[in-house]
Amino acid sequence: MIRRRSLLTLAGLGGAAALLPAGPALAAPAAPAAQAAPAAPARAIDLPAPTVGRPVGTTSLHLVDHGRLDPFAPVPGPRELMVQLWYPARGTAGRPRAPYITPRVAAAIERILPLDPGTLALLRPTALADAPAHPGPLPLLLLGHGRGGTRSNCTALAEELAAHGYLVAAVDHTYDAAAVEFPDGRLVLGALPENPPDRDAAERKEIAARVGDLRFVTDELTGGRLPFRVDEERIGVLGHSMGGAAAAEALRQDPRLRIGLDLDGGLFGSPVPDLGLDRPFLLLTSIDDHDTWQRWREHHHAWGRQLRTLGAGHLSFTDLPHAAAPGHLADHLPAETYAGLLGTLAPTRATALTRSYVRAFADRFLRDRPTPLLDGPSPRHPEIEFRWSRG
């Protein structure tokens, strides 16, 4: 079984050197200066298009929570966030295809993660920038990245959900995200310590900040101050890695949230493992089990599932597998590390599986649609192993 901390440090697009220990710690990859960098791939890397042909729009919001001081900022001030929305569009004329990420954020990430320089700029989503939104009201799904990740990490998943009628709001958790670029040109890099002196206290602080972010974004999107109409009876929260832990704690705290979903995140930094949850919760994992998941199962009070994706790595639930081969990630990492990150599933299959089960869960509990996919193993999805079920 993976050590307790590993599922937290295997976060987002960062943390690639602090990985799957199965005995001695793995060595970090060689410094880029020690070898010539391979040439970046020459062609665009298209993310899988949504499984329905409805147009999807995306836009970014700069939100400031004047009711909270940022707990990580070096100078006291209100908490500032960047949020990206994906939504069903009602028109696309003249709208360009949105970039995957800004060039400055991409460069910051590529200094952390050993992809060939320029790889992330070649990832090409389907969504159109600032396309006019469907008038709604729309069910809302809040989406959190892993520790050291960014709001773009699960773009293919967000676009799929938006094409099927959801408003998806992905939050950059400032100072936790690898990099956040604000409209005035400021670039705020991740600043959380990898090895804090009191890890439990650090995890609690990080989760509390993330939950505060998610609740504030919910306030903003349901408060009538933004040009999106949300169905306030149909709100859910999900996240990858540490974003999944934050989703669980947000569900515990906020009665507006009807469902929660964790993509391969240990349930750190909150009492969820020892209290359980009273609303539907889905856990999708790449490994067999984890101590925080075991404790959560013992205390969970509502519908729940723990499903394992056989052949997946920790980052198989994100977009990174689509960039790994073109960006020669395997050339920069030890084989064991690469396997822990990416597993053996083909990128398109990993994305298809994650999309299918996330959407089935959201449809079942936010739209009251029957979803037999969650009732038991499916011959069409043999990679999905039902580890635990309730309800």
- The reported pLDDT for the residue numbered 43 is 87
Strand order in the sheet with 230-240: 128-129, 56-69, 78-88, 167-172, 138-144, 230-240, 259-263, 281-285, 304-309, 384-390
- The reported pLDDT for the residue numbered 41 is 47
Let me know: does 262 contact 242? Beta carbons within 8 Å: no
Task: List, in sequence order, the alpha helices (H) in the chain.
Answer: 6-9, 103-112, 119-122, 155-163, 199-222, 242-253, 272-275, 291-299, 320-324, 329-332, 335-342, 347-366
CA distance 9 to 201: 16
Percent pLDDT > 90 in the chain is 83
- The reported pLDDT for the residue numbered 111 is 84
Residues of the chain below pLDDT 50: 1-38, 40-41
Listed by start position, the domains of the chain span 6-12+50-390
* pLDDT per residue as tens digits for the range 247-289: 999 999 999 999 999 999 999 999 999 999 999 999 999 999 9
Distances in Å between the alpha carbon of 62 and those of 167, 248, 312? 17, 25, 34
- The reported pLDDT for the residue numbered 136 is 85
- The reported pLDDT for the residue numbered 93 is 80
Residue carrying the six token digits 């952390």: 112
Closest CA to 121 of 40, 179, 61, 57: 40
CA distance 290 to 272: 14
- The reported pLDDT for the residue numbered 110 is 87
- The reported pLDDT for the residue numbered 70 is 98
Closest CA to 273 of 144, 58, 281, 363: 281
* pLDDT per residue as tens digits for the range 24-64: 222 223 333 333 344 544 689 999 999 999 999 999 999 99
This prediction has a pTM of 0.91
The CATH superfamily of 6-12+50-390 is: Alpha/Beta hydrolase fold, catalytic domain (3.40.50.1820)
CA distance 245 to 292: 10
Q: How many residues does the chain have?
A: 391
- The reported pLDDT for the residue numbered 42 is 61
- The reported pLDDT for the residue numbered 91 is 82
Q: 136 burial class (0-12, 13-18, 19+ CB within 10 angstroms)?
A: middle
- The reported pLDDT for the residue numbered 345 is 97
